[in-house]
């Protein structure tokens, strides 16, 4: 039997708490669902189960890492009506683990179940054009805007680009992540060639700014509008993919950290966001001592840069995702240890000879404060996120020293980056 349908939820209204360990009229335990079955869904499932919830995952991949560990696994396409109906029947509330779940699928689920984040918020994050417009609209309240940009959706738009936007970075409006769908250009001719190379899909051209550093902020916002957040993380990317996150006091100037945190909370609040949201920022060299903040993009979900919270904080980003979705109290998270997170890509599983091997986990796990998280993916390949390594300790210098040791053992790059 399926649980009794509940009324649709507006993102601006509180949801009645779905307490762990409760049982519906149908006899089904309180169940939280997630659209998407990758590593973020897997860690959400672990956090939900730790509180006693049952879980359900919808994902088309038969080898879904989250599907392997969930009570229920629905293997269908994200827009499959039968699969969506099954997920709604099994769950009391539903979230998503990545932004490319079709917004219309979330709309369909929200007809009978609380869904957080909602389709409108996810839809903004799915489209760089809408995302940039949202950042501009938020700028007066948040105090931080995005880089100067232009929408490229026609040959005429290419010719109309102001000279001030060159050189720049051309990014596809949709389906771009980890550096995909991005081309650096210097001239108008290169812009036209790049847009043609990208199949002339709608794009955004961003002015190339002098980059000093990159950072991100993770917030959680509840149904009633309550907001909590983690301190900003400083991030280093290699080939467009996050390589290292530095999470400790002094990782960036306090004045910038305070502004980034306030801006992220403002960006979430102005769209009535519910759930965990990550906003990424650039720190650009504007001639001032510490530089200036520019908002880059947002992710309507937990984020790679927040994985350190699993071992360095009393509540992780996934714990807050569960609390926000279920309407539970949102405690302000406390970081009890400085931390560095090292992203583990599939490249580590291949030697110079191209043969696959197992990384030297024995040496890594012998390091003090080393916390290895592997995602249960069966096949390693270059660029694929296979896991992460959190290093924690009692002081920043010790964490940095241990992280250097781990990076040397594994052959990782980026630790000494910005």
Q: How far apart are CA 245 and CA 343, in angstroms?
A: 8
Which tokens is 63 given?
């080898």
Please give the pLDDT value at position 9: 39
Residues in CB range of 44: below 8 A, 6 or more apart: 34, 55, 66, 95, 97, 302, 318, 321, 322
Give me the residue label for tokens 């995005």.
146
Query: Does residue 61 surpass a pLDDT of 50?
Result: yes
Helix, strand, coil share (%) of the chain residues, nearest 5: 30, 25, 40
Q: Give the sheet arrangement for strand 54-58, strand by strand.
A: 72-74, 54-58, 31-35, 93-96
pLDDT of residue 28: 83
Residues whose CB falls within 8 Å of the CB of residue 140, separated by 6 or more in sequence, listed in order: none
pLDDT at residue 376 tops 50: yes
Is residue 1's pLDDT more than 70?
Answer: no
pLDDT cut 70: percent of the chain above it: 94
Q: Which residue has the higher pLDDT, 145 or 372?
A: 372
Whether the per-residue pLDDT at 13 is higher than 60: the answer is no
- Taken in order of first residue, the domains within the chain and their CATH numbers are 31-115 (3.40.50.20), 148-207 (3.30.1490.20), 211-410 (3.30.470.20)
Q: If you average pLDDT over every residue of the chain, what do you get?
A: 92
pLDDT digits (tens, 9 = 90+) for 257-305: 999 999 999 999 999 999 999 999 999 999 999 999 999 999 999 999 9
Instruction: Judge whether residue 351 has pLDDT over 60.
Output: yes
More confident residue, 41 or 182: 41
| Confidence label for 24 from pLDDT (cuts 50, 70 and 90) | confident
**Token pair recorded at residue 88:** 């709604």
Q: Give dist(CA 30, CA 213) in Å, integer.
A: 43
pLDDT above 90: residue 308: yes
Q: Is 171 left (phi over 0), alpha (psi -120 to 50) or beta?
A: beta
**pLDDT tens readout for residues 224-265:** 999 999 999 999 999 889 999 999 999 999 999 999 999 999
């Amino acid at each position: 039997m399926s649980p009794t349908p509940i009324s649709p939820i507006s993102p601006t209204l509180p949801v009645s708490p779905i307490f762990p360990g409760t049982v519906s009229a149908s006899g089904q335990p309180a169940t939280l669902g997630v659209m998407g079955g990758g590593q973020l869904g897997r860690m959400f499932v672990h956090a939900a189960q730790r509180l006693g919830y049952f879980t359900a995952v919808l994902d088309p991949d038969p080898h879904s890492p989250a599907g392997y560990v969930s009570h229920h696994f629905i293997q269908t396409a994200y827009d499959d009506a039968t699969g969506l109906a099954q997920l709604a029947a099994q769950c009391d509330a539903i979230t998503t683990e990545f932004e490319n779940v079709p917004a219309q699928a979330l709309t369909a689920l929200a007809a009978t179940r609380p869904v957080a984040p909602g389709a409108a918020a996810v839809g903004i994050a799915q489209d760089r054009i809408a995302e940039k417009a949202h950042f501009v609209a938020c700028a007066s309240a948040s105090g931080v805007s995005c880089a100067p940009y232009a929408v490229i959706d026609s040959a005429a738009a290419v010719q109309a680009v102001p000279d001030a936007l060159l050189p720049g970075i051309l990014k596809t409006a949709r389906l771009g992540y980890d550096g995909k769908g991005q081309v650096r250009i210097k001239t108008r001719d290169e812009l036209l060639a790049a847009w043609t190379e990208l199949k002339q899909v709608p794009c955004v051209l961003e002015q190339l700014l002098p980059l000093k550093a990159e950072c991100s902020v993770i917030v959680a916002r509840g149904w009633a509008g309550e907001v909590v957040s983690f301190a900003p993380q400083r991030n280093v990317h290699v080939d467009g993919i996050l390589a290292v996150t530095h999470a400790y006091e002094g990782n960036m100037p306090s004045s910038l950290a305070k502004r980034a945190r306030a801006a992220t909370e403002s960006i979430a609040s102005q769209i009535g966001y519910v759930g965990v949201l990550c906003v990424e920022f650039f720190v650009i060299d504007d001639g001032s001592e510490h530089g200036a903040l520019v908002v880059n993009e947002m992710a309507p979900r937990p984020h790679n840069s927040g994985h350190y919270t699993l071992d360095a904080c009393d509540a992780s980003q996934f714990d807050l995702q569960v609390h926000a979705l279920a309407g539970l109290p949102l405690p302000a998270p406390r970081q009890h240890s400085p931390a560095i997170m090292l992203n583990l890509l599939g490249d580590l599983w291949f030697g110079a000879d191209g043969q696959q091997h197992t990384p030297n986990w024995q040496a890594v796990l012998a390091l003090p404060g080393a916390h290895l998280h592997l995602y249960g993916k069966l096949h390693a390949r270059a660029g694929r996120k296979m896991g992460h390594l959190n290093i924690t300790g009692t002081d920043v210098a010790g964490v940095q020293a241990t992280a250097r040791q781990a990076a040397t053992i594994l052959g990782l790059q980026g630790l000494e980056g910005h």
